[in-house]
Amino acid sequence: MGQYIAPLRDMQFVLHELLGVEAELKALPKYEEIDADIINQVMEEAGKFCSEVIFPLNHSGDREGCHHDKTTHSVTTPKGFKEAYKQYVEAGWPALSCDPEYGGQGLPLVMNNSLYEMMNSANQAWTMYPGLSHGAYECLHEHGTPEQKALFLPKLTSGEWTGTMCLTEPHCGTDLGMLRSKAEPQGDGTYKITGAKIFISAGEHDCADNIIHLVLARLPDAPEGSKGISLFLVPKFLVNADGSLGARNPIFCGAIEEKMGIHGNSTCQMNLDGAVGTLIGQPHKGLNAMFVFMNAARLGVGMQGLGLTEVAYQNALIYAKDRIQMRSLSGPKAPDKPADPIIVHADVRRMLLTAKAWAEGGRALCSHAAILLDKELNHPDEDVRKECADEVALLTPIIKAFITDNAWTATSECLQVYGGHGYIAEWGMEQYVRDARINLIYEGTNTVQSLDLLGRKILQDNGAKLRKFGAKVQAFVEENGTDEAMSEFVTPLADLGDKLTKLTMEIGMKAFQNPDEVGAAAVPYLRVAGHLVYSYFFAQMAKIALAKQDSGDTFYKAKLATIRFYFARLYPETAMLIRQARSGSANLLSLEADLF
Protein backbone atom coordinates (compact mmCIF):
# COMPACT_ATOMS: atom_id res chain seq x y z
CA MET A 1 0.00 0.00 0.00
CA GLY A 2 1.94 2.99 -1.23
CA GLN A 3 5.37 3.64 0.19
CA TYR A 4 7.25 5.47 2.90
CA ILE A 5 10.81 6.74 2.57
CA ALA A 6 12.25 8.62 5.51
CA PRO A 7 12.72 12.31 4.54
CA LEU A 8 16.36 12.26 5.60
CA ARG A 9 17.42 15.22 3.48
CA ASP A 10 14.93 17.55 5.12
CA MET A 11 15.61 16.10 8.56
CA GLN A 12 19.31 16.75 8.10
CA PHE A 13 18.62 20.27 6.86
CA VAL A 14 16.57 21.02 9.98
CA LEU A 15 19.02 19.47 12.43
CA HIS A 16 22.31 20.64 10.95
CA GLU A 17 21.61 23.77 8.91
CA LEU A 18 18.67 25.32 10.72
CA LEU A 19 19.21 24.28 14.33
CA GLY A 20 22.96 23.57 14.47
CA VAL A 21 22.41 20.48 16.59
CA GLU A 22 26.05 19.42 16.71
CA ALA A 23 27.14 22.71 18.27
CA GLU A 24 24.19 22.66 20.67
CA LEU A 25 25.13 19.17 21.85
CA LYS A 26 28.81 20.10 22.27
CA ALA A 27 27.70 22.46 25.04
CA LEU A 28 26.24 19.51 26.94
CA PRO A 29 29.02 17.38 28.52
CA LYS A 30 26.81 14.30 28.32
CA TYR A 31 26.60 14.59 24.52
CA GLU A 32 29.84 16.34 23.55
CA GLU A 33 31.00 13.30 21.56
CA ILE A 34 27.88 13.26 19.37
CA ASP A 35 28.55 14.62 15.89
CA ALA A 36 26.62 14.96 12.63
CA ASP A 37 27.92 11.64 11.29
CA ILE A 38 26.59 9.72 14.28
CA ILE A 39 23.23 11.45 14.03
CA ASN A 40 22.95 10.78 10.30
CA GLN A 41 23.95 7.13 10.61
CA VAL A 42 21.37 6.45 13.31
CA MET A 43 18.68 8.22 11.31
CA GLU A 44 19.49 6.24 8.18
CA GLU A 45 19.18 2.94 10.05
CA ALA A 46 15.96 4.10 11.69
CA GLY A 47 14.57 4.99 8.28
CA LYS A 48 15.31 1.49 6.98
CA PHE A 49 13.59 -0.15 9.94
CA CYS A 50 10.53 2.03 9.51
CA SER A 51 10.15 1.65 5.76
CA GLU A 52 11.07 -2.04 5.57
CA VAL A 53 9.66 -3.52 8.78
CA ILE A 54 6.69 -1.59 10.16
CA PHE A 55 5.33 0.33 7.15
CA PRO A 56 4.33 -2.88 5.31
CA LEU A 57 2.17 -3.77 8.35
CA ASN A 58 0.26 -0.50 8.43
CA HIS A 59 -2.58 -1.26 6.03
CA SER A 60 -2.92 -4.93 6.93
CA GLY A 61 -2.92 -4.08 10.61
CA ASP A 62 -5.70 -1.58 10.06
CA ARG A 63 -7.79 -4.12 8.13
CA GLU A 64 -7.26 -6.95 10.59
CA GLY A 65 -7.37 -5.05 13.88
CA CYS A 66 -6.80 -6.61 17.29
CA HIS A 67 -8.51 -9.70 18.69
CA HIS A 68 -9.82 -9.89 22.25
CA ASP A 69 -10.42 -13.21 24.00
CA LYS A 70 -13.09 -12.47 26.60
CA THR A 71 -12.39 -15.72 28.42
CA THR A 72 -8.69 -15.10 29.04
CA HIS A 73 -8.84 -11.29 28.74
CA SER A 74 -5.90 -11.54 26.33
CA VAL A 75 -5.40 -9.45 23.20
CA THR A 76 -3.69 -10.58 20.02
CA THR A 77 -2.22 -7.87 17.82
CA PRO A 78 -2.47 -7.98 14.00
CA LYS A 79 -0.30 -10.39 12.06
CA GLY A 80 3.35 -9.33 12.04
CA PHE A 81 3.09 -6.77 14.86
CA LYS A 82 4.60 -9.02 17.51
CA GLU A 83 7.49 -10.06 15.27
CA ALA A 84 8.18 -6.45 14.28
CA TYR A 85 8.25 -5.46 17.94
CA LYS A 86 10.80 -8.21 18.61
CA GLN A 87 13.02 -6.79 15.84
CA TYR A 88 12.60 -3.33 17.34
CA VAL A 89 13.78 -4.55 20.74
CA GLU A 90 16.65 -6.62 19.37
CA ALA A 91 17.94 -3.64 17.40
CA GLY A 92 18.04 -1.54 20.58
CA TRP A 93 15.66 1.19 19.42
CA PRO A 94 13.71 1.46 22.73
CA ALA A 95 16.95 2.26 24.60
CA LEU A 96 18.12 4.99 22.23
CA SER A 97 17.79 8.00 24.55
CA CYS A 98 17.46 6.17 27.88
CA ASP A 99 19.83 6.44 30.83
CA PRO A 100 22.88 4.12 30.55
CA GLU A 101 22.45 3.39 34.27
CA TYR A 102 19.42 1.33 33.28
CA GLY A 103 20.80 -0.11 30.06
CA GLY A 104 20.09 2.81 27.76
CA GLN A 105 22.29 4.11 24.96
CA GLY A 106 22.31 7.63 26.37
CA LEU A 107 21.78 9.41 23.06
CA PRO A 108 20.04 12.80 22.84
CA LEU A 109 16.27 13.17 22.82
CA VAL A 110 16.52 15.04 19.53
CA MET A 111 17.61 11.77 17.89
CA ASN A 112 14.78 9.85 19.54
CA ASN A 113 12.45 12.55 18.25
CA SER A 114 13.50 11.90 14.65
CA LEU A 115 13.07 8.16 15.18
CA TYR A 116 9.52 8.68 16.36
CA GLU A 117 8.61 10.91 13.44
CA MET A 118 9.63 8.11 11.11
CA MET A 119 7.85 5.44 13.14
CA ASN A 120 4.63 7.43 13.20
CA SER A 121 4.80 7.95 9.44
CA ALA A 122 5.35 4.25 8.92
CA ASN A 123 2.72 2.90 11.30
CA GLN A 124 1.10 5.02 13.99
CA ALA A 125 -0.96 2.17 15.47
CA TRP A 126 2.11 -0.06 15.90
CA THR A 127 4.20 2.82 17.23
CA MET A 128 1.72 3.33 20.06
CA TYR A 129 2.80 0.03 21.67
CA PRO A 130 6.34 1.23 22.46
CA GLY A 131 5.37 4.92 22.33
CA LEU A 132 3.78 5.21 25.75
CA SER A 133 6.58 3.20 27.34
CA HIS A 134 8.92 6.16 27.02
CA GLY A 135 6.51 8.36 28.95
CA ALA A 136 6.24 5.71 31.67
CA TYR A 137 10.04 5.52 31.73
CA GLU A 138 10.35 9.32 32.13
CA CYS A 139 7.75 9.41 34.90
CA LEU A 140 9.43 6.63 36.87
CA HIS A 141 12.88 8.05 36.23
CA GLU A 142 11.82 11.35 37.81
CA HIS A 143 9.38 10.25 40.51
CA GLY A 144 9.95 6.56 41.17
CA THR A 145 11.48 5.12 44.34
CA PRO A 146 14.94 3.56 44.11
CA GLU A 147 13.30 0.14 44.33
CA GLN A 148 10.84 0.93 41.53
CA LYS A 149 13.61 2.27 39.33
CA ALA A 150 15.84 -0.74 39.87
CA LEU A 151 13.03 -3.20 39.23
CA PHE A 152 11.20 -1.61 36.30
CA LEU A 153 13.40 0.87 34.43
CA PRO A 154 15.83 -1.69 32.92
CA LYS A 155 12.93 -3.61 31.38
CA LEU A 156 11.21 -0.47 30.10
CA THR A 157 14.53 0.71 28.70
CA SER A 158 15.16 -2.53 26.83
CA GLY A 159 11.58 -2.68 25.59
CA GLU A 160 11.05 -6.12 27.11
CA TRP A 161 8.17 -4.54 29.03
CA THR A 162 5.87 -1.76 27.85
CA GLY A 163 4.01 0.95 29.73
CA THR A 164 0.59 2.62 29.71
CA MET A 165 -1.11 5.58 31.34
CA CYS A 166 -4.48 4.78 32.96
CA LEU A 167 -6.32 8.05 33.56
CA THR A 168 -9.71 8.21 31.89
CA GLU A 169 -12.83 6.68 33.45
CA PRO A 170 -16.27 6.21 31.87
CA HIS A 171 -17.72 9.26 33.65
CA CYS A 172 -14.69 11.57 33.37
CA GLY A 173 -12.13 12.34 30.72
CA THR A 174 -10.27 15.62 31.01
CA ASP A 175 -11.86 16.39 34.39
CA LEU A 176 -9.71 13.96 36.38
CA GLY A 177 -10.86 15.47 39.65
CA MET A 178 -14.01 13.37 39.23
CA LEU A 179 -12.26 9.99 39.04
CA ARG A 180 -13.47 7.26 41.39
CA SER A 181 -10.86 4.49 41.32
CA LYS A 182 -9.87 3.56 44.89
CA ALA A 183 -6.56 2.46 46.38
CA GLU A 184 -6.63 0.65 49.74
CA PRO A 185 -3.31 0.47 51.68
CA GLN A 186 -2.33 -3.06 52.70
CA GLY A 187 0.13 -2.15 55.44
CA ASP A 188 3.13 -3.57 53.60
CA GLY A 189 3.80 -0.69 51.23
CA THR A 190 1.41 -1.98 48.59
CA TYR A 191 -2.14 -0.97 47.70
CA LYS A 192 -5.12 -2.81 46.27
CA ILE A 193 -6.66 -0.77 43.50
CA THR A 194 -10.21 -1.11 42.23
CA GLY A 195 -11.86 0.78 39.42
CA ALA A 196 -12.54 0.99 35.69
CA LYS A 197 -10.46 2.80 33.08
CA ILE A 198 -11.31 3.37 29.43
CA PHE A 199 -9.50 4.40 26.24
CA ILE A 200 -6.22 2.84 27.43
CA SER A 201 -3.91 2.66 24.42
CA ALA A 202 -1.95 -0.62 24.27
CA GLY A 203 -3.59 -1.62 27.55
CA GLU A 204 -3.30 -5.31 26.70
CA HIS A 205 -1.30 -6.99 23.92
CA ASP A 206 1.02 -9.87 23.07
CA CYS A 207 4.14 -7.92 22.09
CA ALA A 208 5.85 -7.79 25.50
CA ASP A 209 6.17 -10.10 28.50
CA ASN A 210 4.80 -7.55 30.96
CA ILE A 211 2.86 -4.28 30.86
CA ILE A 212 3.47 -1.57 33.46
CA HIS A 213 0.32 0.45 34.06
CA LEU A 214 0.56 3.88 35.66
CA VAL A 215 -2.83 4.27 37.34
CA LEU A 216 -4.48 7.28 38.96
CA ALA A 217 -6.63 6.46 42.00
CA ARG A 218 -7.77 7.86 45.36
CA LEU A 219 -6.56 6.89 48.80
CA PRO A 220 -9.21 6.50 51.57
CA ASP A 221 -8.31 9.87 53.11
CA ALA A 222 -8.07 11.72 49.81
CA PRO A 223 -9.57 15.21 49.59
CA GLU A 224 -12.12 15.89 46.87
CA GLY A 225 -11.11 16.97 43.39
CA SER A 226 -7.76 16.90 41.65
CA LYS A 227 -5.87 17.49 44.91
CA GLY A 228 -6.88 14.03 46.07
CA ILE A 229 -5.37 11.95 43.27
CA SER A 230 -2.42 9.59 43.73
CA LEU A 231 -0.38 7.69 41.15
CA PHE A 232 0.34 3.97 41.35
CA LEU A 233 2.49 1.49 39.47
CA VAL A 234 0.37 -1.56 38.65
CA PRO A 235 2.08 -4.32 36.63
CA LYS A 236 0.18 -6.86 34.55
CA PHE A 237 2.30 -9.54 36.23
CA LEU A 238 3.65 -8.96 39.70
CA VAL A 239 7.43 -8.74 39.75
CA ASN A 240 9.57 -10.66 42.22
CA ALA A 241 12.54 -9.09 44.01
CA ASP A 242 14.93 -10.75 41.55
CA GLY A 243 13.07 -9.27 38.57
CA SER A 244 11.32 -12.46 37.56
CA LEU A 245 7.61 -12.47 36.83
CA GLY A 246 5.19 -13.60 39.51
CA ALA A 247 1.41 -13.99 39.68
CA ARG A 248 -1.05 -12.40 37.27
CA ASN A 249 -2.31 -9.14 38.75
CA PRO A 250 -6.10 -8.59 38.51
CA ILE A 251 -5.97 -5.74 36.00
CA PHE A 252 -7.74 -7.08 32.93
CA CYS A 253 -8.92 -5.92 29.51
CA GLY A 254 -12.72 -6.10 29.56
CA ALA A 255 -13.16 -5.05 25.93
CA ILE A 256 -11.45 -3.34 23.00
CA GLU A 257 -12.98 -0.06 21.87
CA GLU A 258 -14.46 -0.09 18.36
CA LYS A 259 -12.76 2.94 16.85
CA MET A 260 -12.76 5.19 13.79
CA GLY A 261 -9.03 4.61 13.22
CA ILE A 262 -5.77 3.23 14.65
CA HIS A 263 -7.34 -0.23 14.47
CA GLY A 264 -3.97 -1.92 14.81
CA ASN A 265 -3.64 -0.63 18.38
CA SER A 266 -5.61 -2.17 21.22
CA THR A 267 -7.51 0.66 22.90
CA CYS A 268 -8.76 -1.12 25.98
CA GLN A 269 -11.34 -0.91 28.71
CA MET A 270 -9.32 -1.93 31.76
CA ASN A 271 -10.90 -3.31 34.93
CA LEU A 272 -8.99 -3.36 38.22
CA ASP A 273 -10.34 -5.70 40.88
CA GLY A 274 -8.01 -5.36 43.83
CA ALA A 275 -4.94 -5.11 41.61
CA VAL A 276 -1.73 -4.73 43.58
CA GLY A 277 0.20 -1.52 43.06
CA THR A 278 2.86 0.67 44.65
CA LEU A 279 2.74 4.43 45.12
CA ILE A 280 4.71 6.67 42.76
CA GLY A 281 5.70 9.98 44.33
CA GLN A 282 3.76 11.49 47.23
CA PRO A 283 0.19 10.70 48.31
CA HIS A 284 -2.37 13.03 46.69
CA LYS A 285 0.31 14.39 44.35
CA GLY A 286 -0.37 11.98 41.51
CA LEU A 287 -1.21 14.59 38.91
CA ASN A 288 2.12 16.31 39.49
CA ALA A 289 3.95 13.06 38.79
CA MET A 290 1.67 12.08 35.93
CA PHE A 291 2.20 15.42 34.19
CA VAL A 292 5.71 14.23 33.29
CA PHE A 293 4.02 11.40 31.40
CA MET A 294 1.23 13.59 30.03
CA ASN A 295 3.58 16.25 28.67
CA ALA A 296 5.72 13.58 27.02
CA ALA A 297 2.55 12.12 25.52
CA ARG A 298 1.40 15.52 24.24
CA LEU A 299 4.69 16.05 22.45
CA GLY A 300 4.38 12.50 21.16
CA VAL A 301 0.92 13.16 19.74
CA GLY A 302 2.30 16.16 17.90
CA MET A 303 4.83 13.79 16.38
CA GLN A 304 1.98 11.48 15.34
CA GLY A 305 0.40 14.35 13.45
CA LEU A 306 3.72 15.21 11.81
CA GLY A 307 4.33 11.60 10.83
CA LEU A 308 0.93 11.21 9.17
CA THR A 309 1.30 14.53 7.35
CA GLU A 310 4.60 13.40 5.85
CA VAL A 311 3.51 9.95 4.71
CA ALA A 312 0.23 11.24 3.27
CA TYR A 313 2.15 13.90 1.35
CA GLN A 314 4.66 11.41 -0.03
CA ASN A 315 1.98 9.14 -1.42
CA ALA A 316 -0.22 11.93 -2.77
CA LEU A 317 2.81 13.33 -4.59
CA ILE A 318 3.57 9.98 -6.22
CA TYR A 319 -0.05 9.64 -7.30
CA ALA A 320 -0.22 13.20 -8.66
CA LYS A 321 2.83 12.63 -10.84
CA ASP A 322 1.46 9.36 -12.22
CA ARG A 323 -2.28 9.92 -12.58
CA ILE A 324 -3.33 11.56 -15.87
CA GLN A 325 -6.58 13.56 -16.07
CA MET A 326 -7.52 16.42 -18.42
CA ARG A 327 -5.14 19.00 -19.83
CA SER A 328 -3.41 21.92 -18.19
CA LEU A 329 -5.40 25.14 -18.64
CA SER A 330 -2.34 26.71 -20.26
CA GLY A 331 -1.93 23.92 -22.80
CA PRO A 332 -0.76 20.28 -22.85
CA LYS A 333 2.25 19.51 -20.68
CA ALA A 334 2.47 15.84 -21.71
CA PRO A 335 1.49 15.91 -25.41
CA ASP A 336 2.61 12.32 -25.89
CA LYS A 337 -0.10 11.17 -23.46
CA PRO A 338 -3.90 11.33 -23.73
CA ALA A 339 -4.00 13.68 -20.71
CA ASP A 340 -1.62 15.50 -18.38
CA PRO A 341 -0.48 14.27 -14.96
CA ILE A 342 -2.72 15.94 -12.41
CA ILE A 343 0.26 17.64 -10.77
CA VAL A 344 0.05 20.26 -13.55
CA HIS A 345 -3.26 21.53 -12.16
CA ALA A 346 -3.03 24.53 -9.84
CA ASP A 347 -5.36 23.24 -7.14
CA VAL A 348 -3.60 19.87 -6.95
CA ARG A 349 -0.41 21.86 -6.37
CA ARG A 350 -2.20 23.77 -3.60
CA MET A 351 -3.18 20.55 -1.85
CA LEU A 352 0.29 19.06 -2.12
CA LEU A 353 2.04 22.24 -0.99
CA THR A 354 -0.33 22.54 1.97
CA ALA A 355 0.78 19.13 3.23
CA LYS A 356 4.42 19.80 2.37
CA ALA A 357 4.46 23.11 4.25
CA TRP A 358 2.72 21.70 7.32
CA ALA A 359 5.19 18.81 7.40
CA GLU A 360 8.29 20.98 7.06
CA GLY A 361 7.12 23.55 9.59
CA GLY A 362 6.15 20.85 12.07
CA ARG A 363 9.50 19.10 11.68
CA ALA A 364 11.38 22.29 12.49
CA LEU A 365 9.24 22.99 15.56
CA CYS A 366 9.41 19.45 16.96
CA SER A 367 13.16 19.21 16.44
CA HIS A 368 13.65 22.57 18.12
CA ALA A 369 11.58 21.45 21.10
CA ALA A 370 13.59 18.23 21.38
CA ILE A 371 16.84 20.20 21.56
CA LEU A 372 15.31 22.43 24.21
CA LEU A 373 14.46 19.31 26.22
CA ASP A 374 18.02 18.03 25.91
CA LYS A 375 19.28 21.38 27.20
CA GLU A 376 16.66 21.58 29.95
CA LEU A 377 17.77 18.20 31.28
CA ASN A 378 21.53 18.42 30.71
CA HIS A 379 22.88 21.95 30.32
CA PRO A 380 25.45 22.86 33.01
CA ASP A 381 24.00 26.38 33.42
CA GLU A 382 20.91 26.44 35.63
CA ASP A 383 19.64 29.63 34.00
CA VAL A 384 19.79 28.00 30.57
CA ARG A 385 17.91 24.98 31.90
CA LYS A 386 15.18 27.26 33.27
CA GLU A 387 14.90 29.22 30.02
CA CYS A 388 14.58 26.03 28.02
CA ALA A 389 11.97 24.61 30.41
CA ASP A 390 9.88 27.78 30.04
CA GLU A 391 10.00 27.64 26.26
CA VAL A 392 9.11 23.93 26.19
CA ALA A 393 6.13 24.69 28.43
CA LEU A 394 5.00 27.41 26.03
CA LEU A 395 5.48 25.30 22.91
CA THR A 396 4.00 22.00 24.16
CA PRO A 397 0.31 22.89 23.63
CA ILE A 398 1.17 24.42 20.24
CA ILE A 399 2.99 21.24 19.18
CA LYS A 400 0.10 19.05 20.28
CA ALA A 401 -2.76 21.13 18.89
CA PHE A 402 -1.40 23.13 15.93
CA ILE A 403 0.43 20.19 14.35
CA THR A 404 -2.48 17.78 14.75
CA ASP A 405 -5.00 20.33 13.44
CA ASN A 406 -2.75 20.79 10.42
CA ALA A 407 -2.37 17.02 10.00
CA TRP A 408 -6.12 16.59 9.85
CA THR A 409 -6.22 19.21 7.08
CA ALA A 410 -3.18 17.79 5.29
CA THR A 411 -4.32 14.17 5.25
CA SER A 412 -7.73 15.26 3.99
CA GLU A 413 -6.15 17.33 1.22
CA CYS A 414 -3.92 14.42 0.26
CA LEU A 415 -6.94 12.13 0.07
CA GLN A 416 -8.56 14.72 -2.20
CA VAL A 417 -5.60 14.51 -4.57
CA TYR A 418 -6.62 10.91 -5.27
CA GLY A 419 -10.18 11.89 -6.13
CA GLY A 420 -12.53 8.92 -5.83
CA HIS A 421 -9.61 6.55 -5.33
CA GLY A 422 -8.76 8.34 -2.12
CA TYR A 423 -12.07 7.29 -0.64
CA ILE A 424 -11.37 3.64 -1.44
CA ALA A 425 -9.54 1.60 1.19
CA GLU A 426 -7.16 -0.20 -1.17
CA TRP A 427 -5.12 2.97 -1.79
CA GLY A 428 -4.47 3.51 1.90
CA MET A 429 -5.16 7.25 2.03
CA GLU A 430 -8.47 7.06 3.89
CA GLN A 431 -6.66 5.29 6.74
CA TYR A 432 -4.38 8.29 7.26
CA VAL A 433 -7.42 10.55 7.57
CA ARG A 434 -9.08 8.23 10.08
CA ASP A 435 -5.88 7.75 12.06
CA ALA A 436 -5.17 11.49 12.10
CA ARG A 437 -8.53 12.37 13.65
CA ILE A 438 -7.80 10.88 17.09
CA ASN A 439 -4.75 13.07 17.49
CA LEU A 440 -6.94 16.15 17.94
CA ILE A 441 -8.71 14.41 20.83
CA TYR A 442 -6.54 12.32 23.12
CA GLU A 443 -3.92 13.51 25.62
CA GLY A 444 -6.07 16.58 26.17
CA THR A 445 -8.29 17.79 23.35
CA ASN A 446 -7.00 20.64 21.24
CA THR A 447 -9.42 22.95 23.01
CA VAL A 448 -7.82 21.94 26.32
CA GLN A 449 -4.40 22.68 24.81
CA SER A 450 -5.66 26.09 23.72
CA LEU A 451 -6.95 26.86 27.21
CA ASP A 452 -3.64 25.68 28.65
CA LEU A 453 -1.67 27.94 26.32
CA LEU A 454 -3.72 31.10 26.77
CA GLY A 455 -4.94 30.69 30.34
CA ARG A 456 -2.04 28.98 32.09
CA LYS A 457 1.09 29.43 30.01
CA ILE A 458 0.49 33.06 28.98
CA LEU A 459 -2.04 34.97 31.08
CA GLN A 460 -1.16 33.26 34.35
CA ASP A 461 2.41 34.59 34.23
CA ASN A 462 1.39 37.91 32.62
CA GLY A 463 2.88 36.88 29.31
CA ALA A 464 6.43 36.33 30.56
CA LYS A 465 7.04 33.14 28.54
CA LEU A 466 5.51 34.65 25.43
CA ARG A 467 7.65 37.78 25.76
CA LYS A 468 10.80 35.65 25.96
CA PHE A 469 9.90 33.92 22.72
CA GLY A 470 8.84 37.25 21.22
CA ALA A 471 12.27 38.66 22.05
CA LYS A 472 13.89 35.94 19.92
CA VAL A 473 11.54 36.78 17.07
CA GLN A 474 12.27 40.48 17.43
CA ALA A 475 16.02 39.89 17.43
CA PHE A 476 15.73 37.96 14.16
CA VAL A 477 13.56 40.69 12.65
CA GLU A 478 16.03 43.41 13.62
CA GLU A 479 18.97 41.40 12.31
CA ASN A 480 17.37 40.77 8.93
CA GLY A 481 14.93 43.63 8.52
CA THR A 482 17.18 45.64 6.19
CA ASP A 483 17.88 42.68 3.89
CA GLU A 484 15.66 43.32 0.88
CA ALA A 485 15.72 39.65 -0.13
CA MET A 486 14.31 38.71 3.27
CA SER A 487 11.55 41.32 3.40
CA GLU A 488 8.85 38.98 2.06
CA PHE A 489 9.44 36.75 5.09
CA VAL A 490 10.49 39.21 7.79
CA THR A 491 7.67 41.71 7.24
CA PRO A 492 4.79 39.28 7.88
CA LEU A 493 6.70 37.76 10.81
CA ALA A 494 7.17 41.16 12.45
CA ASP A 495 3.56 42.12 11.75
CA LEU A 496 2.18 38.96 13.34
CA GLY A 497 4.40 39.38 16.38
CA ASP A 498 2.97 42.85 16.97
CA LYS A 499 -0.60 41.70 16.42
CA LEU A 500 -0.28 38.74 18.77
CA THR A 501 1.11 41.00 21.50
CA LYS A 502 -1.85 43.38 21.15
CA LEU A 503 -4.33 40.49 20.98
CA THR A 504 -2.90 38.98 24.15
CA MET A 505 -3.22 42.24 26.04
CA GLU A 506 -6.77 42.76 24.82
CA ILE A 507 -7.93 39.30 25.84
CA GLY A 508 -6.16 39.60 29.18
CA MET A 509 -7.97 42.85 29.98
CA LYS A 510 -11.34 41.44 28.95
CA ALA A 511 -10.73 38.31 31.03
CA PHE A 512 -10.45 40.42 34.19
CA GLN A 513 -14.09 41.35 33.69
CA ASN A 514 -15.30 38.03 32.28
CA PRO A 515 -13.26 34.80 32.46
CA ASP A 516 -15.39 33.29 29.64
CA GLU A 517 -13.49 35.57 27.26
CA VAL A 518 -10.50 33.21 27.60
CA GLY A 519 -12.55 30.18 26.60
CA ALA A 520 -14.10 32.03 23.67
CA ALA A 521 -10.75 33.21 22.29
CA ALA A 522 -8.49 30.26 23.11
CA VAL A 523 -8.78 28.08 19.99
CA PRO A 524 -8.21 30.79 17.35
CA TYR A 525 -5.57 32.31 19.64
CA LEU A 526 -3.54 29.10 19.66
CA ARG A 527 -3.60 28.95 15.87
CA VAL A 528 -2.34 32.53 15.68
CA ALA A 529 0.46 31.62 18.09
CA GLY A 530 1.20 28.53 16.01
CA HIS A 531 1.57 30.67 12.91
CA LEU A 532 3.94 33.01 14.73
CA VAL A 533 6.16 30.05 15.63
CA TYR A 534 6.01 28.59 12.10
CA SER A 535 6.66 32.01 10.55
CA TYR A 536 9.74 32.36 12.72
CA PHE A 537 11.15 29.01 11.63
CA PHE A 538 10.16 29.45 7.97
CA ALA A 539 11.87 32.85 7.90
CA GLN A 540 15.05 31.31 9.30
CA MET A 541 14.86 28.50 6.75
CA ALA A 542 14.35 31.05 3.99
CA LYS A 543 17.54 32.85 4.97
CA ILE A 544 19.53 29.62 4.62
CA ALA A 545 17.83 28.67 1.35
CA LEU A 546 18.37 32.12 -0.20
CA ALA A 547 22.08 31.86 0.47
CA LYS A 548 22.27 28.45 -1.20
CA GLN A 549 19.65 28.64 -3.95
CA ASP A 550 22.35 28.89 -6.63
CA SER A 551 24.47 26.08 -5.20
CA GLY A 552 23.19 23.60 -7.75
CA ASP A 553 21.27 21.67 -5.10
CA THR A 554 17.59 21.94 -6.08
CA PHE A 555 16.60 21.20 -2.48
CA TYR A 556 16.99 24.89 -1.62
CA LYS A 557 14.83 26.09 -4.51
CA ALA A 558 12.11 23.69 -3.43
CA LYS A 559 12.44 24.89 0.14
CA LEU A 560 12.01 28.52 -0.92
CA ALA A 561 8.97 27.66 -3.03
CA THR A 562 7.37 25.91 -0.07
CA ILE A 563 8.07 28.83 2.26
CA ARG A 564 6.65 31.33 -0.21
CA PHE A 565 3.54 29.19 -0.54
CA TYR A 566 3.17 29.15 3.24
CA PHE A 567 3.32 32.93 3.55
CA ALA A 568 1.03 33.47 0.55
CA ARG A 569 -1.60 30.80 1.17
CA LEU A 570 -1.55 29.53 4.76
CA TYR A 571 -0.34 32.45 6.85
CA PRO A 572 -3.23 34.76 5.76
CA GLU A 573 -5.70 32.81 7.88
CA THR A 574 -4.24 34.70 10.83
CA ALA A 575 -6.34 37.75 9.88
CA MET A 576 -9.54 35.75 10.22
CA LEU A 577 -8.35 34.04 13.40
CA ILE A 578 -7.53 37.35 15.08
CA ARG A 579 -11.00 38.67 14.26
CA GLN A 580 -12.53 35.50 15.70
CA ALA A 581 -10.48 35.74 18.89
CA ARG A 582 -11.44 39.41 19.32
CA SER A 583 -15.13 38.84 18.71
CA GLY A 584 -15.77 38.00 22.36
CA SER A 585 -17.88 35.45 24.18
CA ALA A 586 -21.36 36.94 23.68
CA ASN A 587 -21.83 35.41 20.23
CA LEU A 588 -21.21 32.00 21.80
CA LEU A 589 -22.91 32.27 25.19
CA SER A 590 -25.85 34.64 24.77
CA LEU A 591 -28.16 31.92 23.44
CA GLU A 592 -29.80 29.99 26.28
CA ALA A 593 -28.97 26.27 26.25
CA ASP A 594 -32.61 25.21 25.88
CA LEU A 595 -32.96 27.34 22.74
CA PHE A 596 -30.36 25.39 20.75
Per the document, the length of the chain is 596
Burial of 309 (0-12, 13-18, 19+ CB in 10 A): buried
Q: How far apart are CA 9 and CA 68, in angstroms?
A: 42
Q: How far apart are CA 111 and CA 44, in angstroms?
A: 11
Q: What distances in angstroms separate CA 26 from CA 11, 197, 384, one per listed residue?
A: 19, 44, 15
E strand or H helix that includes residue 76 = strand 74-76
Strands (E), 236-375: 237-239, 245-248, 251-256, 267-280
- Report the candidate in 356, 453, 437 with the shortest Cα–Cα distance to residue 399: 453
E strand or H helix that includes residue 480 = helix 464-480
Q: What distances in angstroms separate CA 251 from CA 159, 212, 278, 534, one per listed residue?
A: 21, 11, 14, 44
End-to-end Cα spacing for the chain: 45
Q: Give catalytic status of residue 382 as yes or no.
A: no
Q: How far apart are CA 452 and CA 398, in angstroms?
A: 10
- Report the candidate in 152, 404, 154 with the shortest Cα–Cα distance to residue 297: 404
Phi-psi region of 80 (alpha: psi -120 to 50; beta: other; left: phi over 0): left
Q: Which amino acid is at 144?
A: G
DSSP states along 440-472: TTSSS-HHHHHHIIIIIIIITTTTHHHHHHHHH
E strand or H helix that includes residue 49 = helix 36-49
Q: How far apart are CA 267 and CA 132, in angstroms?
A: 12
Catalytic choice (169, 391, 430, 443): 443
| Phi/psi of residue 275, nearest 5 degrees | -70, 140
Torsion of CA 216, 219, 221, 227, to 10 degrees: -10
Q: How far apart are CA 195 and CA 483, in angstroms?
A: 62
Positions marked catalytic = 443
